[in-house]
Structure 1
């Protein structure tokens, strides 16, 4: 499988009592599809998978599969701290009808590269589906290094990697040394660099706020090769990207940003806490300015 376009790891809207707001979840899915995204990822960290029970996660898979109804690719995030739970969730995602999987290292255990490769290949054997690796050492504590990639890259199902390490040298390494594993933009503030190195897909948390704009940016830059406009769009997006990647309140900013677009995400589950008023005001200005500037660039006549 080749991934191309915008793949949104969608947020999970909650009611004030912390239960999933299924009506809002349906609206999120519809908004993404209507905005032209190419795939929807259910069960990513942006969806707070770690704060959901296994039953809630599987219900999300079933709900999303029915709502997406083939109008965009349905990708399931199957990570879990326990390997047996991860394999059970993988099998359930396969049976429910996921078309691809997003797989990171299990957090906290800090496996070696060989141990991590063995884990990924077990998931591969259970699922038999295209797998997008997710390299995020800041969350998992381990990197998907070259020994790991050499081993798992021999499987035809290990077909892409979302690179979220923040290390620019990894972008070059993956593009040059592992062309059989498709390079996917992961770091929100590095998307232009990924596109310069040939990435044709972006796992795009920002699309929870600006799905149409992110898709247009992708078409202009990655597909159209217009890096002049791409740099200008990225420059306008950077304050938002910085708030998401370096601000320390990633999920709160995502959900509040979506709320400002008319798609409330509700609370974040513990241990996270609500945004302070000062950050809310800052985000309002960042999003208002980004929306105005980015859309003006997108709407320019070529």
Structure 2
């Protein structure tokens, strides 16, 4: 089962927007050392929307090769074209990714039946564990719990990243799918409560900068230890908020650059974190003990 603290890893870039492969290798090694259970490569935090198809494929393979079996690698292979999602998912299978993350089709706004058929087509086409991803705040497409329950019957569909931030709704989904599907949080601010309610982990933006602390929080919450989870989460609360002061991944990429982990490269239409927002993110990093 896919579980624990999973980093929605950024795509490190040079100032000119080209991928910084050396920084990627360093980041993956660091996350292994810090105890992260896995990474998502080329998810939305990884700027999948602005990577070319060949870059997308190369990035997944680079992550699999660098991780070398030391942590789970989930490849972001979702698209709003079913055939493109199948193509990317097949690439992930060929390079031995452990699983794929498939976002709900954005902009198209399919019906619930359309969503069901889209994900079933991918699951039927490619034999690899697949994680559904519902993030209506970014996609303008909300997959209802009833649709997820239907999809949970497919043996290749093993988990869902629930980024709705609605813990009550997540709790209902956990009860409805039982052991058929692992429910993972995709919203750091509410992740602890979802895991205490039975969620199996968190695909996290915050874990990019605070992997050890997120690992401690996730382990405690999954074990049902509220006191330990709250203690681990308390220094991270400001980060959960401030890393979204501008659109993700703008703040988290700036934060990693501020920590000396990589250059502050990003691709248009995303722009570097504004000067006015930088003190807010810096304060959150200091509050979490990540900067002096």
Give the TM-score of the pair, scaled to structure 1: 0.91
Determine the structure 2 residue equivalent to 1:230.
229
> Which residue of 278, 281, 286 corresponds with 2:279?
281
Identify the residue that residue 102 of structure 1 maps to in structure 2.
101
Query: Distance between the aligned counterparts of 1:256 and 1:42, measured in 2?
Result: 19
Structure 2 counterparts to residues 283-302 of structure 1, below 5 A: 283-291=281-289
Instruction: Name the structure 2 match of 1:142.
Output: 141
Instruction: Select the residue among 257, 261, 264 that pairs with 2:262.
Output: 264
Q: Map residues 44-83 of structure 1 onto 2, 5 A cutoff.
A: 44-83=43-82
Count of residues in Structure 1 that have an aligned counterpart in Structure 2:
290
Check whether the contact 1:11–1:265 (CA below 8 A) recurs between aligned residues: no
Contact kept? 1:42, 1:76, Cα under 8 Å: yes
Q: Larger deviation: 18-27 or 137-146? A: 137-146
Residue 191 of structure 2 corresponds to which residue in structure 1?
191
Q: Which residue of 2 aligns with 1:218?
A: 218
| Unaligned residue ranges in structure 1 (runs of 5+) | 294-302
Corresponding residue number in structure 2 for 1:241: 240
Higher helix share goes to which structure? 1
**Alignment CA distance shift 1:260-1:226 (3 Å):** farther
What secondary structure does 1:81 align onto? coil
List gaps (5 residues or longer) in structure 2.
none
Give the C-alpha shift of residue 292 in structure 1.
Answer: 6.9
* TM-superposed deviation, 1:227: 1.3
Q: Deviations over 1:102-122 (max 9, x none)?
A: 111111101111111111011
1:181-228 residue CA offsets vs partner (Å, 9 max, x unmatched): 2111211100121122012311111111011111122223323x3312
- Partners in 2 of 1:219 and 1:167 — Cα distance? 21
2:6 partner SS = strand
Structure-2-length-normalised TM-score: 0.94
Q: Is the 8 A contact 1:43 1:77 kept in 2?
A: yes
**For residues 1-58 of structure 1, what are the alpha-carbon distances to aligned partners after superposition, in whole Å with 9 as ceiling and x for unaligned?**
x122111111011111111111111111111111111112111011001010000000
- 2:289 & 2:126 partners in 1: Cα distance? 40
The answer to whether the 8 Å contact 2:41/2:63 transfers is yes
Secondary structure of the corresponding residue to residue 278 of structure 1: coil
Alignment partners' CA distance in 1, 2:105 and 2:22: 31
